[in-house]
Each structure stands twice: as C-alpha cells, then as structure tokens.
Amino acid sequence: MSELVHYEVADRVATITLDSPANRNALSRQLVTELFERLERSGSDETASVVLIRSADRVFCSGADLSEASSTGMEEGAKTLVELQRRIITHPKPVVTRLAGPVRAGGLGIVAASDIVICGDDVTFALTEVRLGLTPAVISLTLLSRMTSRAAYDTFLTGRTFSAGEAEAMGVVTRAVPAAELDEAVAEVCRDLAKGSAQGLRESKALLGKAMLEYVDANADEMAALSARLFGSDEAREAMLAFLSKK
C-alpha cells in the first residue's frame, strides 16, 4: 500500500505532505492514520521547530471519504476527525498550513485547527455538507472559533463556494497572497516562527488555543454523535450515492 502522507525536515521545518490524488486527499482511514503518525513524529522531532501541512498537488482536501462513509458509516470517522483537530490544537509546535488549491468540507477542520494558514488568492472553499443532507458538525468545533457568526450562517446554510479573499475576511485563513508569492510567504512565516524558543512557542500556542480547546472538549461527543446520525440517515446515504455516481 502506497504512502499517502509524506514527512521531511529541512531548515527547522517538519513538512507533512498529503499525497492522495486519486480521491483529492479525501480523509480516508489510511490518510488520517498516517497524518496522526506524522503529527506525533513532528512533535518529538528535535530537528524541527515548526510543522507545515501542505498538499502534493493543488487540491488540499476534498473532505470526508464519501465512498467509505456511505458503506461503513461515520461513527468512528467522526470521532477520529475530532481527535485530528484536537491534536493540531494541542501540538507542542506551531502548525502552519499552506493552501494552493481547493478546500472542501472536512478539510476545513484541518485549516481551522491550524495556527497560521496562508493561501493563494485563487484558492476556493466550500462547506458542501448541507447539499448532502449533512451539517459541518465535527468541524464546527474549530470553525466556529474562527469565523464570524454571519459568515458561518452564510457558508453552512448555502454550501456555496467562497474565495480566498472572503476566507481571509471571515477568519478562516490568516492571509491570502498572490498565488505566485505563496511559497515565499509560507517560508517567511516559518522563518519567523523558527526564531522562537521551544518553550515560548509551546506556551504561547497553549495560551492562544485554550478557549478553542475547551470548546472542542465540551462539545466533541455531541457533534460526533450528530455527524454519525446524519451520515447514517437514508437522506444522506441517497445523496452521497448520487454524488459518487456522478464522479
């Protein structure tokens, strides 16, 4: 079985690369399992001060793996996605996410949990769950800490595609930059972060993430149960199968 998540370290930056182009980096069991392992590895890697999450190709993440969810349900998957967000929030090192292409649905959970997110100005986003009989239940645990209330109502209810500029204004990403300048902008952020001491970075991150972590822990079980219930509903199953048949 081919590796879907790669790991390398250079210049004090541990880069974790999602590389599952066949399903547009959907959050399959294999990809998420490998992502957990790479996050854990980066946390104890003494050669790295910063963690960078990126994709090998343009698409960052298409969300849940609907082929798995439609056949096996989402109970464990929902709990796993909660834990993935939690591990990013509690990671001892700053986590930077680089976006060069589309982000959909569950992929926004990784984005919202990350400490700093830099995206190209041509990147698009969408929370498409509502069109499949679902709601962004589990990823709301981090998204609602980032987005304005008006933005959440707009994007959760319409499922529309929104731009990088809108994502920046909503608080979903830290900064949108011209696509040609993306790599340099990410490198500059990583260089600045790497100047911090390990203790300073760890304690500052814990301070900043305290409220989000408390919200996640207080609501995780309820949101995971809601997600599992909706994914298991007849309406959602029919919608997912119809969507998969069009691909």
User: pLDDT by residue (tens digit) across 38-54?
Assistant: 999 999 999 999 999 99
Domain ranges of the chain: 5-181
Q: Does the structure show a pLDDT above 60 at 70?
A: no
Q: Does the structure show a pLDDT above 70 at 58?
A: yes
Cβ contact 195:50 at 8 Å:
no
**Average pLDDT over every residue of 209-219:** 98
Q: What is the dihedral of CA 197, 184, 139, 62, to 10 degrees?
A: -140
82 vs 217: CA distance, rounded Å: 9
Per-residue model confidence (pLDDT) at position 19: 97
Query: Strand 116-120 vs strand 175-177: parallel, antiparallel, or unpaired?
Result: parallel
| Helices 75-90, 198-231: inter-axial angle, 10-degree rounding | 170
What is the rounded average pLDDT for all residues in the chain? 95
**Average pLDDT over every residue of 233-238:** 90
CA distances from 107 to 70, 110, 199, 231 (A): 18, 6, 29, 17
Q: Is the dihedral of CA 75, 76, 79, 85 positive or negative?
A: negative
- At 67, which helix (H) or strand (E)? helix 66-72
**Average pLDDT over every residue of 59-77:** 79
**Average pLDDT over every residue of 58-70:** 84
CATH of span 5-181: 3.90.226.10
The burial of 134, by beta-carbon neighbours within 10 Å (0-12 exposed, 13-18 middle, 19 or more buried), is given as buried
